[in-house]
Structure 1
Amino acid sequence: MKFKNLLYILGFAGIVASCEVTDIDPLDAVTDATYWSSVSDLQLYANSFYTNLSEPAVDKDNTSDNCITTNYSAFLFNESTIPSTASGAGWTWTNIRACNFFLNRYQQVKGSESEINVYVAEVRFFRALDYFGKIKKFGDVPWYEKDLQTTDTEELYKARDSRDFILGKIIEDLEFAINWLPEYGKAIEGRLTKDAARTQLARVCLHEGTFKKYHNLTGSPTSNDLLRKAADVAEVIMNTKNYSIVKGTDAGAGQKPFEGYPLYYCNQFVQEDLIANKECILPRIYQDGILTHQTGRQAGGSGTGLSKDFIESFLCDDGLPIGSSSRYQGDDYIETEIKNRDPRLYQIVDNKNRPYLVMNGEQQVNPYTNVDPSAAVTGYPCVKFRSPLPVQAEARKTTFDWFVYRYAEVLLIYAEAKAELGECTQQVLDLTINQLRDRVDMPHLTINPIADPNPIDYGYTISPLLYEIRRERRIELITEGFRLDDVKRWKAGKLFENPKTMLGIRVTDKVISVYPAGVFGGENGRPLIEYNGKTYLRPYLGKSLTEAGRKWSDTDKRYLDPLPTGEILLNPNLTQNPGWK
């Protein structure tokens, strides 16, 4: 029961982000001269960083080939401008300074090494988390180990340190955290553990290892060093036997599935309580009247829709791509399109096989998917985080917990790293990808899968095995915020050139007959466009399917973000990232 965590939630609820709701007043400001006296002071200070962990949201894949938003992304059309301010660019250092403030003062506290270092580990974890975000965004950035004052002009006006140097510091911080954080089951629920830090370290190493490989970067650590470390750290987590892939319960989600259409995958993401869930490495905990969010209200109705390209990535239920399977029924209507496909498809997209609401024990579905631009601009509403309980859709009333770190990601990291190292055996697949497929009764992946006859174009050739591992990652982690990072680390911007990343549902006579008159085409209906002899919903009326801005060059500037012009003017030792002028 989540009520046992009430005191922990109260301990940091006052400093939560604005998208969460609480009636607890903020903690008093830290007074440096009197603060550092007890271990509890360290714990209280560390609490403030927990808002930096992943939090509930439905827009995490909005800038990607998975989703299409109501208003087009300037980034994806290469229309971004260089921000002038640090806050506008994300070139902010408040969190790093707060971490270093702690790390330069905690030694004043009296206590045992093990008592003190658990909170040092937490703060170093959060410093690593912040710096990882910075090197993904900017590449080289300055490294700081002290809380800078205005008099520290030499460090304030220093040049950027290399990405490799920062990466080494990130790994050091995370390895310290792994050494001192509590073991599984020994931490206060919702606080960091060794396995949470291991998951973050494996994520960092996979990201940077593949970034180096596909961007042809040298230096130490090497791409292979990082991929090896990613696999090794993920394997440590797997070997603990503390986690497993869980079939989300109907009771925990308030769901009542239709016969023959189990909801084991999507139920996991609206479970009221994740504390004892074996797939959850670290939960973010919510409770009515204390701490809530709005994801249950926003899911499937925020304007964002899944892309046609993403929908076509789902295999058929015989394990074959739609271009190879006799089970594929075509796309003349959404109910036909999801038939005989990977069951995660009918659990992610709103359709008549998944109850949209359960009221008084009765299942309710929508008569057709919402194609309004304010709801789902593509006609493919993503309802992965949609609870069937009406109360969860009320304003500021969503209380189901959130995965900060999920075991499924660990398995995907291990499979991809082993494949990149040339070490992916059938045993590896059975321990990883096939665990995910077993949850939804999909056929197992083998080491020699059939090549997709209509593959998405990464801009280079990869093996059918790696292709399928990437496909599995794309589907399993949809809208959890990984996709754009994946595209960038794989140097796969060419994916955005696929016109189907800009298209919604196919609009056929069958589709038109289901919706009210005037919904599609004409002066007031949703815009349509022809592509390869078929008619599709057109999200962006003013954009063609061959927009120059959707094309990515081999050295495209968008693989890194620009530094703010104001900071470059202030610090002549800072230089702009390539291509941004």
Structure 2
Amino acid sequence: MKTINIKTIILSIATLVLFFFSSCDDVLDRPPLSEENDNTFWASESQLRLYANGFYPRYFVGYNSGWGTEYAPHIGYTFSDDIVYNGTQTNFELSVPNDRGNNTSTLTNIPWLELYSGPNWNFAWLRRANIMIDRIEKRMSNILTADQKSHWMGIARFFRGIDYAGLVQVFGDVPYYDHEVNNADPNDLYKPRTPRDEVMDAVYDDLVFAMQNVKLDDGSLNVNRYVVAGFVSRLALFEGTWQKYHKNNNDRAKKFLNLAVTAADLIKNSGKYDIVTDFRTLFNSDNLAGNKDVIFYRHYDPAQSVTHCVSSYCNLSENRYPNPNLALIKAFICNDGSDWQTSSDVANKNFEMSNLIATRDSRFEATFFPKVTTRSLSSCIYTVKFISRIGVSYEGNGLPAEFTSTNNKNDYPIIRYAEVLLNWIEAKAELATLGEAAVTQADIDASINKIRDRKIAPEAEALGVKKTAAMSLTNLPSSPDRGNVPQLIWEIRRERRMEMAFEHSRLLDLKRWKKLEYMDYTSNPDIMRGTWINANSAALNSLLKPGILAVTDMTGKITIYNGNNAAQMVGFYTPTNLQNRQPFLNVTGINPYLAPVGKNERIDYQKRGFDLAQTEGWPSDL
């Protein structure tokens, strides 16, 4: 398990400043290298390591730092079918922006673009990776040993592969560069978009090379082969399922799904990782060093002035408006292994919070505050996944400083063994639908059942939380909500949703499965409802406002509070001020699965006699 050396990264960033000035006018953001520094810098492996560490803040954000929340869990990933807003739901991007370059202010109202670290039409970090590759090859052959050269070339190609995979996830076709761009060559500068498949074939080669050449162990503070493999399992699963569901290209789907399996197998077969930690502790430990559940993490240290604010958004001291919704609550499986809709146990159909804590998978209690609360005005259920149990025990009153402001010091597991197991089993299940080997019970036991068997915290046991029964291939739940999704794949997706709620994956999962309709209220009304409440209770009677409070019963009937029917205000919380987002599916000129490039980017190409095609599904006129 690896961490991130913050001091080294700060030094690395300072070093990178010597190479890249702060502004640039051209489309690829390519300020020239300082000739003196470039000629003298590539003199030792330690200098190369310093350069490589400069990539860490981009790809391994963790909880971010200070007041920064971009790409951080809970805060940065609150645009999916798991979240309801108090008011109008956040819209998808509905028109082509003027600019998609370096001006990030153009993206502040487009949370769906929070898909990877750097959604802009910006190739600066790719250029930096290509410079690293070029300098290793041309200037360091007599400085590095063969093993060192292979390792660092693997690191550089790993970074390039991550960045290109992210750009493709957002934009589809993008210009591909496998070399340092020639600033004086307009044909290079204004290269047209390269087809997605060609880009991803190059990414595939980069990732395979990295898995074969990056060291198994490069010290506790650095990326190693297992870290690489964890990310490869994630990125390859995305592309494999995208090819299956969007392109109907089974051959390419199998290519990437098999890569996901291979990457995950490298980690599984190492014997270095396991599921040994209770779920909540993974996210509120002050030091994840040595934790076998974690492949890579970001460490926070107040002594180095490196802290964050994400736990402060879970401390119950102030109102939170993006809240978990009923759709997510209903997705949690019962701890007897059944689906609540088809369960024969009447207790599993009781949605009072105390009963949910006792009857649902243990991750429910680890993720949510065990009481309904008006601190979450959108749904009455509050997320506490990213704060310690000690912090929650204060219920927002008299909080110690470490749970407030930017004083949070808990570590973040950037990639976990549980995710790798879920990537592995999903890839195998998808491959089985494409004619490859069927998933076996042994596969399920080695992945989903291993995760379900994680230990339960004593505080959770005191509330009645139990381990969830093992999944059996011969007795899978048959959820009526799954539509055309096979039972096994549906249950694997459910497991992923429970395990990774409010982390990086849910919106990306909906995109790759081609299931953004789950975010439309007309087909999924539970996304704009909250948990089960009794507004007559002392804790909630402040909600009793005529014309505003409403509840929905188990049949879907909505009752609005009129000032005289308080006794009827028992049901799923459904405030009347919640409004659906604007239509985004099957709308001409809108492709919610991919982002458009900006008008200015296309004009910049045209002024120089070149053409930058608009993203598939978006208007091509300027």
TM range (shorter): 0.7 to 0.9
For 1:561, give the aligned amino acid.
A
Structure 2 match to 1:564: 598
Say whether 1:206 aligns with 2:237: yes
Correspondent of 1:472 among 495, 501, 507: 495
Say whether 1:511 aligns with 2:535: yes
Correspondent of 2:428 among 407, 418, 422: 418
Distance 2:173 2:616 in 1: 12
Structure 2 match to 1:343: 362
Distance 2:480 2:57 in 1: 42
SS at match of 1:559: coil
Structure 1 match to 2:614: 576
- Deviation readout 1:486-523 (Å, 9 max, x if unpaired): 1111111221230111222234xx33323254324337
Q: 1:35: Cα distance to partner?
A: 1.3
Structure 2 match to 1:269: 283
Structure 2 match to 1:226: 256
- Deviation readout 1:104-146 (Å, 9 max, x if unpaired): 2233232312234433322221111111110000111011123
For 2:481, give the aligned amino acid.
P
Q: 1:245: Cα distance to partner?
A: 0.8
Distance 2:255 2:374 in 1: 47
Structure 1 match to 2:567: none
Say whether 1:280 aligns with 2:316: no
- Deviation readout 1:371-418 (Å, 9 max, x if unpaired): 444xxx322211111122434313222222211211101111111111
Structure 1 match to 2:308: 293
Against the structure 1 CA distance between its residues 391 and 91, is the aligned structure 2 distance closer, same or farther, given a 3 Å change threshold?
same
Against the structure 1 CA distance between its residues 60 and 427, is the aligned structure 2 distance closer, same or farther, given a 3 Å change threshold?
farther
Correspondent of 1:242 among 268, 272, 278: 272
Q: 1:314: Cα distance to partner?
A: 1.0
Distance 2:95 2:288 in 1: 39
Q: 1:456: Cα distance to partner?
A: 4.5
Query: Contact (CA 8 Å) 1:520, 1:526: kept in 2 or not?
Result: yes
Correspondent of 1:51 among 50, 57, 71: 57
Map 1:241-390 onto structure 2 (within 5 A).
241-247=271-277, 264-290=278-304, 291-299=306-314, 302-325=320-343, 326-330=345-349, 333-351=352-370, 368-373=372-377, 377-387=378-388, 388-389=390-391, 390=400
Structure 2 match to 1:195: 226
Q: 1:13: Cα distance to partner?
A: 3.2
SS at match of 2:125: helix
Q: 1:299: Cα distance to partner?
A: 2.8
SS at match of 1:405: strand
Query: Contact (CA 8 Å) 1:521, 1:528: kept in 2 or not?
Result: no
Query: Contact (CA 8 Å) 2:86, 2:578: kept in 1 or not?
Result: no
For 1:579, give the aligned amino acid.
G
- RMSD value, Cα: 2.8
Distance 2:381 2:312 in 1: 17
* TM-score of the superposed pair, with normalisation by structure 1: 0.83
Correspondent of 2:408 among 394, 398, 418: 398
Correspondent of 1:128 among 136, 140, 161: 161
Structure 1: where are the runs of 5+ without partners? 17-24, 248-263, 353-367
Q: 1:270: Cα distance to partner?
A: 1.1
Distance 1:320 1:244 in 2: 26
SS at match of 1:379: coil
Query: Contact (CA 8 Å) 2:275, 2:293: kept in 1 or not?
Result: yes
Map 1:65-144 onto structure 2 (within 5 A).
65-70=81-86, 72=88, 74-76=90-92, 79=94, 81-87=96-102, 88=106, 90-106=120-136, 107-109=138-140, 110-144=143-177
Distance 1:309 1:83 in 2: 35
Against the structure 1 CA distance between its residues 157 and 481, is the aligned structure 2 distance closer, same or farther, given a 3 Å change threshold?
same
Query: Contact (CA 8 Å) 1:62, 1:69: kept in 2 or not?
Result: no
Correspondent of 2:18 among 13, 26, 29: 29
Structure 1 match to 2:486: 463
Query: Contact (CA 8 Å) 1:66, 1:501: kept in 2 or not?
Result: yes
Structure 2 match to 1:443: 469
Distance 1:398 1:193 in 2: 28
For 1:463, give the aligned amino acid.
P
Query: Contact (CA 8 Å) 1:61, 1:478: kept in 2 or not?
Result: no
Distance 2:477 2:602 in 1: 48
Q: 1:227: Cα distance to partner?
A: 1.6
Query: Contact (CA 8 Å) 2:298, 2:414: kept in 1 or not?
Result: yes
271-280 or 448-457, larger mean C-alpha shift: 448-457
For 2:44, give the aligned amino acid.
S
Query: Contact (CA 8 Å) 1:142, 1:158: kept in 2 or not?
Result: yes
Distance 1:229 1:168 in 2: 12
Against the structure 1 CA distance between its residues 70 and 557, is the aligned structure 2 distance closer, same or farther, given a 3 Å change threshold?
same
- Deviation readout 1:324-374 (Å, 9 max, x if unpaired): 22153545632234331112111111115xxxxxxxxxxxxxxx424444x
Correspondent of 1:42 among 44, 48, 54: 48
Q: 1:239: Cα distance to partner?
A: 1.1
Q: 1:294: Cα distance to partner?
A: 1.6
Q: 1:297: Cα distance to partner?
A: 1.3
Distance 1:67 1:294 in 2: 20
Q: 1:548: Cα distance to partner?
A: 5.9
Give the length in aligned residue pairs.
524
- Deviation readout 1:155-203 (Å, 9 max, x if unpaired): 12111111111111112222222222221xx322231110111111222
- Deviation readout 1:194-253 (Å, 9 max, x if unpaired): 01111112222211111111113438x621222222222212211111110122xxxxxx
Against the structure 1 CA distance between its residues 85 and 202, is the aligned structure 2 distance closer, same or farther, given a 3 Å change threshold?
closer
Structure 2 match to 1:549: 583
Distance 1:236 1:155 in 2: 38
Q: 1:272: Cα distance to partner?
A: 1.6
Against the structure 1 CA distance between its residues 242 and 553, is the aligned structure 2 distance closer, same or farther, given a 3 Å change threshold?
farther
Structure 2 match to 1:357: none
Query: Contact (CA 8 Å) 2:314, 2:386: kept in 1 or not?
Result: yes
Distance 1:235 1:227 in 2: 12
For 1:55, give the aligned amino acid.
G
* TM-score of the superposed pair, with normalisation by structure 2: 0.78
Distance 1:212 1:444 in 2: 31
Against the structure 1 CA distance between its residues 274 and 348, is the aligned structure 2 distance closer, same or farther, given a 3 Å change threshold?
same
Q: 1:450: Cα distance to partner?
A: 3.7
For 1:188, give the aligned amino acid.
G
Structure 2 match to 1:363: none
Map 1:2-21 onto structure 2 (within 5 A).
8-13=5-10
SS at match of 2:537: helix
Correspondent of 1:159 among 172, 192, 199: 192
Distance 2:384 2:294 in 1: 20
